[in-house]
Amino acid sequence: MIRRLDFEELVRAALHEDAPFGDPFGEAVTGTGGGIFLSGAPGVFCGGAVAAEVFRRIDPDVSVSFVEEGRGVLAGERVGEASGALAALLRGERVALNFLQRLSGIATATARYVEKVAPYGTRVLDTRKTTPLYRALEKYAVRVGGGANHRFSLSDGVLIKENGIRAAGGIPEAVAIARRETHHLSRVEVEVESLEEAEAAVRAGADALLLDNMLPETVREAVIRFGETVFLEASGGINLGNVEEYARTGVAAVSIGALTHSAPALDISFEVLP
């Protein structure tokens, strides 16, 4: 689920961006009518509540409905419908479609990764590589696609990455700072690029390791050596072609920035009925 609070201001801003001084043509169209939303490709539908909010803000009398979130759809399938003042439908269609296409694209991409790793019990995680101000929506779409969210923000948990280690003066020093400055329920994760760094992080008291840009055979060795002690996730260079190979190592999770920073939009259109 996602709350209206998470997207209502984005919808308002998007509508202003799309027609800052109104819509001269659309506003001149009179009468009422209806239209349908069609999927142009197979995928996973996501974003119906956001698209509905677009029309609600333009005209609360517009009626909008969509298929359920997370439903697999086929090319040519009707995924929603809207009816009301034609001026409102014309005003909202592009903004509504922008949200639907983006979020459904992320959900679709996530679902493909989840399907690949499902036999191995590996979790598919997102990252903070999100569109500025769209993080709540994009991470929601990952959940709809069957994935799970990594930390939402820097405030949610500690992941000490390469630059943080350098700034602190080393892995032990970085972990010590994290332990000193965070509360007792906060988990400390350390990004490591070798088995030697992984061992150093475990000795320093890390709760989790991000195995960065390691080959599958190295990840497998890390699972053997540290998998019973700390939570392990692999990241970097993982794609649909090799994610199953990583899952076979027994690693608990894979985190994939491409879920949000480069997932292709799902083709969805809106057609006003004659």
How confident is the prediction along the chain (274 residues), in pLDDT tens digits per residue? 899 999 999 999 999 999 999 999 999 999 999 999 999 999 999 999 999 999 999 999 999 999 999 999 999 999 999 999 999 999 999 999 999 999 999 999 999 999 999 999 999 999 999 999 999 999 999 999 999 999 999 998 899 999 999 999 999 999 999 999 988 888 999 999 999 999 999 999 999 999 999 999 999 999 999 999 999 999 999 999 999 999 999 999 999 999 999 999 999 999 999 8
Say what angle helices 195-204 and 216-226 make with each other, to 10 degrees.
30
Specify the pLDDT at position 195. Answer: 98
Tens of pLDDT, residues 101-113: 999 999 999 999 9
CATH fold group of domain 117-261:
TIM Barrel (3.20.20)
Among 209, 212, 169, 170, which Cα is nearest to 188's?
Answer: 209
* Catalytic residue from among 93, 212, 220, 233: 212
What are the extents of the domains in the chain?
Answer: 4-114+263-272, 117-261
* Catalytic residue from among 23, 71, 94, 221: 94
Specify the pLDDT at position 186. Answer: 87
* Catalytic residue from among 71, 112, 128, 129: 129
The answer to whether the 4-114+263-272 and 117-261 domains have the same CATH topology is no
Assess whether 181 carries a catalytic annotation.
Answer: no
Assess whether 267 carries a catalytic annotation.
Answer: no
- H helices present in 125-194, as ranges: 135-144, 162-168, 171-181
Among 103, 116, 111, which Cα is nearest to 260's?
Answer: 103
Specify the pLDDT at position 184. Answer: 84
Specify the pLDDT at position 125. Answer: 98
DSSP code of residue 221: H
Amino acid at 215: L
Say what angle helices 86-117 and 135-144 make with each other, to 10 degrees.
60
Assess whether 162 carries a catalytic annotation.
Answer: no
Among 255, 42, 25, which Cα is nearest to 159's?
Answer: 255
* Catalytic residue from among 112, 128, 161, 179: 161
Give whole-number Cα distances, 61 to 82, 122, 258, 271, in Å. Answer: 11, 45, 38, 19
Q: Which tokens go with 30?
A: 């009179």
Assess whether 191 carries a catalytic annotation.
Answer: yes
Q: CA dihedral in degrees (34, 32, 54, 265; nearest 10)?
A: 30
Burial class (CB in 10 A: 0-12, 13-18, 19+), 252: middle
* Catalytic residue from among 189, 191, 197, 207: 191
Contacts of 137 (CB under 8 A, 6+ apart): 2, 6, 7, 10, 47, 50, 99, 102, 103
Specify the pLDDT at position 203. Answer: 97
Assess whether 161 carries a catalytic annotation.
Answer: yes
Burial class (CB in 10 A: 0-12, 13-18, 19+), 24: exposed
Q: Which tokens go with 70?
A: 């997370």
Q: Which tokens go with 170?
A: 């080393």
**DSSP bridge pairs for 234:** 211, 254
Domain 4-114+263-272 classified CATH 3.90.1170.20?
yes
Angle at 22 between CA 16 and CA 27, to 5 degrees: 130
Angle at 257 between CA 241 and CA 166, to 5 degrees: 115
Specify the pLDDT at position 163. Answer: 97
